[in-house]
Chains A and B, each alone.
Chain A
C-alpha cells in the first residue's frame, strides 16, 4: 500500500473510496461482511474488473478501446450459437473465441498504429461493425444455448469444506490481477507507460511504439474475451450482455486515477475502480435507488474523478515550456 501511495498522486483515493463504500454496504446490510457475500460481490464484479484491466493497458498507452462492450456481446452470442448445448464443443469454441479476440485486438491496434486512425475512431468503428454484424447474424434474437461446462467459470466455484464456495470468477480475477501487476513491473510495462506519457520521446529511445500499443489493444480484446466467458456463464445468453460495458470499463479506469491520454496510473487502481463501481451499484440497489439513477450517479462520479485528477496533475503537465518530469512507472 505504501508503494501504491508513493507511486502516483491520484492512486490512493480509489482504495479509500472502496473502503468507505464497502463499510457503507455493511452498515446497510450486515450480512455483507460474511465471506459468502463478499465472494458473491467479487464474482459479480469480476467481469468488469477484468475489462478494466484490459482497458487500463490501452488507456495508459494513450489510447481508448470503445469496442470491448460489443466484442463481449459478439463472443457470447457466437458461443451460444456454435455450442448450441453440445458439451463437447465447449473447448473448441472457447479456443475460437480467444482467436476472435486476438484478431479484433490486432485489427484495432494495427489500424490505429499503422493507418494513423485515432483509436477513438478505430474502436468506435469496430463497435459499430461488431454490433451490426451480430445483429445481422442473429436477426436480433440470439440462437442456440451455452453448455453447462461453458457456464462453470462464471457460475460455479470450488467448494471448500467449512468455508463455502469460492467462485471461479473470483480466482480468475485474482490471477488476472497478479498477471497484470507482473506485466506492468516488467520492462514491457515500463515502455507501455512511457509510450502513453510521450510517444515521440519513447520512440526516439528505440521503443517500437506501434508494437507496444498494438499489444495493448490485443490485451484489451483478450480481457473482453475472458469477461464474455464469465458474463455468459453468469447470466446466460443475451443480446444485451455487453451493452454499455465499454463506458463502465472506462469509468472504472478513470475512477482508479488513471489519466486519460496516458502515461499515468496503476493497474491495481484501475481494477479497484471497477470494484468501486460495482460496490456503488450494490449500495444503490440496497438503498432502493432505481437502476435509472445508476447511470446518473456514474456520470457524476466520472466527471468528479477526472476533475479531481486533473486538478492534481494539471499543474505539472500543462505548461509545455517546463520539461515534464517523466513519472517513474511502476
Chain B
C-alpha cells in the first residue's frame, strides 16, 4: 500500500496541491469519542464493523482448547468441522500457486519468509511454487488469480487484498482448482478451507481486559489506532471500546497514527501535556509501541501499562524495562498453515472447512519464551519459525 500510494501521490504531483488531500477518509463516528468516566452503557451495536454474534463467538473461542500438537500452534485448530477432500487428491509432485495481496509491511514480510521456508520443507511434494505479489492492488490480484488458474496449478493459495472485491475472482478459481484462503477472508464458502486466527474482536478484548484490570475504574487510557476503515482493526477497537465502557475506564483519546512512529510519539506527548498523566496505552497494532513509551520517558513520566504486539523491538523493550505489558497476537505462523493445508488437500486428507488457529497472548510469564534475541526490530515473534532450517539468518538476524 505504501509504495502504490506514493506512486499515486507522486503522479498526481502536477497538481501538487491536490496530493495532500488524497487520503481524506473521515473515520466513522469521529476520532475522539471519549467515553465518560463511569459509563454504564456500551457503545451502540450495529455499527458497520460490529457483528455481535461473531464478537461473542470469538470471545468464547479464546477459552477453547485447540486440537493438535501444542508445540506446533500452526497445526492446531479450534472447533474444526472436518471436510472430505478426496476428490482433490492427485499424484505428486505438485505445482502450488500463491496469490499474495502484498508484502508491504513487516508482518506480511515475516509471514512471506516463513511461507517460503515451509515450502522448502516440502520440496519432495512441491515441484513448483509460483507466487505472484499483487502489490496491494485489487485489480492486479484479480488478474494474478486468473493468470495462475489459467496455468497448471494443482492448488491455489490466496491471501486476499480486500474481501468483497476479490470474491468473484476466488469463486471463479474454485471451479478449477482447490483454493485455500488465509488471513483476510472472502464472501464465499467455495474455498476448501479458510485459515485464520481467532480474530480481531478477541485481540482487542484481550488487550482491553488487561488494561482495564491494570488501570482500574476511572484510570486514563489512550487508544492508538493505525487508520480507520480496515475491518480487522475496527473489530479490535469495537471489542475494546465495549470493555472499557463496561469497566468504567476513562478513554482520554482515540487517535490514528498511520503506524508512523514520529506521529505516535507526538500524539502521546500532546496527551501527556494535556492530561498530566496517562495510566494505560491500548494499541490496535503494536508497531508504534516503543515510540509511545519513549514519549513517556522523554516527558519524565512513569511508563504506563501497555498492550502492544509480538514485535521484536517491543518485546525487547518490555524485557529491558520490566514493563507492565501484554501482547495479544495475530500470528504470522498462519502463513505456514496455508502451505500445510494445500498439501493435505492435494493428498486427499481431511481439512477443517474453517481452520481457526489459536491466537496466543504474550504476558509477563511467557515473555522470555517468545523473545528470541538478535532478530530484526520489526520481526514478529509468533512466526512459528524457530525450528525451521536457516533460522534465524533467513529472518534477517
Contacts and interface: CB of A to CB of B under 8 A. Distances in A.
Interface of A: 29, 31-32, 37, 40, 44, 64, 66, 70, 80, 120, 124, 127-128, 131-132, 135, 139-145, 155, 231, 234-241, 243-244, 247-248, 250-251, 260, 281-282, 285-286, 288-293, 295-296, 298-300, 302-303, 306
A139 B103 contact: yes
Interface stretch (B83-91, B105-113, B185-193, B339-347): B105-113
A145 B31 CA distance: 33
B215 interface: no
A292 B27 contact: yes
B262 A234 contact: yes
Contacts of A299: 17-22, 24
Nearest to B297: A155
B7 A128 contact: yes
Given A144-B377, A236-B290, 7 more contacts: A40-B269, A155-B294, A285-B255, A290-B228, A291-B227, A292-B24, A298-B20
A288 B104 CA distance: 30
A83 to B, nearest CB: 12
Contacts of B262: 231, 234-235, 238, 241
Contacts, number: 168
A28 to B, nearest CB: 9
For the complex of A and B, 8 pairs with smallest distance between CB atoms: A299-B21, A290-B31, A288-B32, A141-B106, A235-B261, A291-B256, A143-B376, A296-B24
A299 B15 CA distance: 11
Contacts of B113: 139
Given A288-B31, A292-B228, A234 B17 contact: no
B143 interface: no
A108 to B, nearest CB: 15
Which one of A124, A238, A250 has the greatest number of beta carbons of chain B within 10 Å?
A: A238
18 contacts: A37-B273, A70-B6, A128-B7, A131-B3, A140-B105, A145-B377, A236-B313, A237-B261, A237-B378, A239-B2, A240-B260, A241-B261, A281-B266, A285-B266, A285-B270, A290-B26, A291-B227, A295-B21
Given A31-B273, A286-B274, A292-B227, A247 B30 contact: no
A302 B20 contact: yes
A142 B378 contact: yes
A243 B2 contact: yes
A143 B294 contact: no
B20 A295 contact: yes
A9 to B, nearest CB: 20
B10 A29 contact: no
Interface residues of B, number: 63
A124 B256 CA distance: 28
A298 B253 contact: no
B60 to A, nearest CB: 33
Given A143-B396, A282-B270, A291 B24 contact: no
Given A290-B27, A302-B20, A234 B378 contact: no
Contacts of B287: 238
B263 A291 contact: yes
Given A250-B16, A288-B32, A291-B31, A235 B291 contact: yes
A241 B257 CA distance: 12
B6 A243 contact: yes
A234 B265 contact: yes
Given A44-B269, A131-B6, A142-B378, A289 B31 contact: yes
Nearest to A70: B6
Given A143-B377, A285-B255, A302-B17, A292 B6 contact: no
B208 to A, nearest CB: 20
- The A interface, classified by DSSP as helix, strand, loop or mixed, is helix
Contacts of B20: 247-248, 251, 295, 298-299, 302
B25 interface: yes
B21 A292 contact: no
Given A128-B7, A299-B21, A306-B17, A237 B105 contact: no
Interface string B182-225: 00000000000000000000000000000000000000000000
Contact of B23 (A37, A140, A142, A295): A295
B382 interface: no
Contacts of B227: 291-292
B109 A141 contact: yes
B376 A142 contact: yes
A127 B264 CA distance: 24
Nearest to A295: B23
Contacts of A288: 30-32, 253
Contacts of A240: 2, 258-261
B111 to A, nearest CB: 11
B181 interface: no
Contacts of A32: 273
A290 B30 contact: yes
Nearest to B300: A165
Contacts of B263: 291
A240 B258 CA distance: 9
A100 B103 CA distance: 27
B146 interface: no
Contacts of B2: 239-240, 243
A32 to B, nearest CB: 8
